[in-house]
């Protein structure tokens, strides 16, 4: 089957409801484990990437995402690795645009490191993408090079400009890192809001072996918020994006600051998300190891009934929540062994 064709209609179109009554309406798909950067909190310097045959083809990704859309997923976020380094990814994104056109999907978006935006931003807009998250942890070129191990800040800033000119709404994602960007938090807020972008701060999560000690890097968002509140007036915002961030509005800039606090604040009660890796492993929770092999289901039959049955069975065991813990020198229990680039955040 080609990308963009729909397989035989689903046996049932009932929405996916988990055992706690939560409606699964948000799917994050990691379309590749590869990346053109090696952020120190995300990947080790020497990563071995998956052989091609293990990774879902674009046709398989289309069948998989379309099955979720038939079962009531309204928001689809592509991530990675770096989604824009996957070969022919635009053809897949364009094919997903048909679910926007039909009204089945409300939003098609992606999380990117921004290095390829100068090439693809206009096409993304053309495919129906309206909003993207761009990860940026520092505005200092040397520090950017250091945290990404070889990235070029100017290329990302140029990409952001092209994306903005193309009409894409941009949200900056910034991982708060002790001893790295804690002195830059206010500058990052001022720059983002000055350029018209909301910004969300993320706490580091204990995912995958990296080269340093995570405890050394952990900066609580309570401290981040305190720092921001020392300069700006924050007030609660009712803004919701379908994601896990809690937003506040800054009176002086008019922009929003989001906080994603998986380590210190439990947002599991309202979790409407599931994640699929580039090998088709469905994770019901970012912080748990339980998964379902949707690649086996996809490859078992050309029709989608096996796939849909596998999705349904998996959602029926979505756990209540995660139990991450970061302790000095200890990554388990309370950590997961896969890298963030596997499930894509
Ligand atoms: N390459 C794309 C990017 O960087 O935006 C998409 C994939 S990346 C894994 C998605 C997000 O996860 C990025 O914002 C990144 O900063 C964040 N991230 C990666 N490892 C993390 C970790 N251990 N804890 C918290 N956030 C992490
Ligand atoms: Fe690549 Fe994104 Fe991970 Fe950085 S955070 S190494 S850009 S996948």
Residue 201 and residue 218: Cα distance in Å, rounded? Answer: 12
Closest residue by Cα to atom 3, ligand 2, is 42
Residue 111 and residue 47: Cα distance in Å, rounded? Answer: 21
Residue 292 and residue 345: Cα distance in Å, rounded? Answer: 18
Closest residue by Cα to atom 8, ligand 1, is 344
| CA distances for 261 relative to 169, 173, 174, 201, 257, angstroms | 23, 13, 12, 8, 13
Question: Which residue from 131, 324, 164 is spatially nearest to 239, judged by alpha carbons?
Answer: 131
**3-class secondary structure, 118:** helix
Answer for the pair 341, 81: CB distance below 8 angstroms, yes or no.
yes
Going from N- to C-terminal start, the domains of the chain cover 26-343
- Rounding to the nearest 10 degrees, give the CA dihedral for residues 330, 245, 161, 194: -110
| Per-residue pLDDT tens over the stretch 154-209 | 999 999 999 999 999 999 999 999 999 999 999 999 999 999 999 999 988 766 66
CATH number of 26-343: 3.20.20.70
80, 84, 132, 135, best to mutate for ligand 1 pocket (most atoms within 8 Å of CB): 135
pLDDT for residue 1 is more than 70: no
**3-class secondary structure, 103:** coil
Total count of residues recorded for the chain:
345
**DSSP run (H or E) holding 198:** strand 198-202
Give 242-251's long-range contacts (Cβ < 8 A, gap of 24+).
Answer: 242/25, 242/26, 242/74, 242/75, 242/107, 242/272, 243/26, 243/77, 243/273, 244/271, 244/273, 245/200, 247/198, 250/189, 250/193
pLDDT of res. 345: 56
pLDDT of res. 277: 96
| Per-residue pLDDT tens over the stretch 274-322 | 999 999 999 988 777 789 999 999 999 999 999 999 999 999 988 777 6
| Per-residue pLDDT tens over the stretch 19-76 | 889 999 999 999 999 999 999 999 999 999 999 999 999 999 999 999 999 999 999 9
Which ligand minimizes its atom distance to the CA of 83? 1
Residue 158 and residue 162: Cα distance in Å, rounded? Answer: 6
- Angle at alpha carbon of residue 297, lines to 343 and 106, rounded to 5°: 55
The CA 11 to ligand 2 mean position distance, Å, reads 38
Answer for the pair 210, 40: CB distance below 8 angstroms, yes or no.
yes
277, 340, 341, 342, best to mutate for ligand 1 pocket (most atoms within 8 Å of CB): 340
Which ligand minimizes its atom distance to the CA of 214? 1
**Mean pLDDT, all residues of the chain:** 88
Residue 109 and residue 92: Cα distance in Å, rounded? Answer: 13
């Amino acid at each position: 089957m080609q990308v963009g064709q729909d397989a035989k209609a689903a046996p049932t179109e009932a929405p996916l409801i988990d055992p706690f009554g939560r409606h699964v309406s948000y799917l994050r798909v990691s379309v590749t484990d590869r990346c053109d950067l090696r952020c120190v909190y995300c990947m080790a310097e020497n990563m071995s990437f998956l052989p091609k045959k293990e990774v879902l083809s674009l046709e398989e990704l289309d069948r998989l995402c379309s099955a979720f859309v038939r079962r009531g997923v309204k928001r689809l976020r592509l991530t990675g690795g770096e989604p824009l380094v996957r070969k022919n990814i635009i053809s897949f994104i364009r094919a997903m645009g048909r679910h926007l056109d039909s009204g089945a999907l409300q939003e098609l978006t992606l999380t990117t490191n921004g290095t390829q935006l100068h090439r693809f931003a206009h096409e993304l807009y053309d495919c129906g993408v309206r909003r993207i998250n761009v990860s940026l942890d520092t505005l200092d070129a040397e520090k950017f090079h250091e945290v990404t191990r070889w990235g070029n800040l100017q290329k990302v800033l140029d990409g952001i400009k092209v994306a903005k000119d193309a009409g894409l709404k941009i949200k900056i994602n910034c991982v708060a890192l002790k001893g790295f960007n804690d002195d830059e938090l206010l500058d990052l807020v001022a720059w983002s809001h000055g350029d018209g972008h909301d910004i969300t701060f993320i706490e580091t999560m204990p995912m995958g072996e990296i080269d340093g000690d995570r405890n050394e890097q952990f900066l609580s968002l309570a401290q981040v918020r305190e720092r921001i509140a020392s300069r700006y007036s924050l007030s609660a915002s009712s803004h919701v994006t379908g994601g896990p961030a809690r937003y506040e509005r800054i009176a002086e800039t008019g922009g929003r600051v989001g906080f994603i606090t998986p380590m210190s604040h439990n947002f599991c009660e309202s979790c409407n998300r599931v994640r699929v890796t580039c090998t088709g492993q469905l994770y019901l929770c970012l912080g748990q190891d339980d998964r379902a092999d949707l690649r086996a289901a996809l490859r078992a039959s050309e029709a989608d009934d096996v796939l849909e049955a596998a999705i349904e069975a998996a959602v029926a065991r979505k756990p209540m929540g995660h139990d991450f813990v970061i302790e000095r020198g200890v990554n388990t229990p309370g950590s997961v062994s896969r890298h963030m680039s596997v499930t894509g955040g």
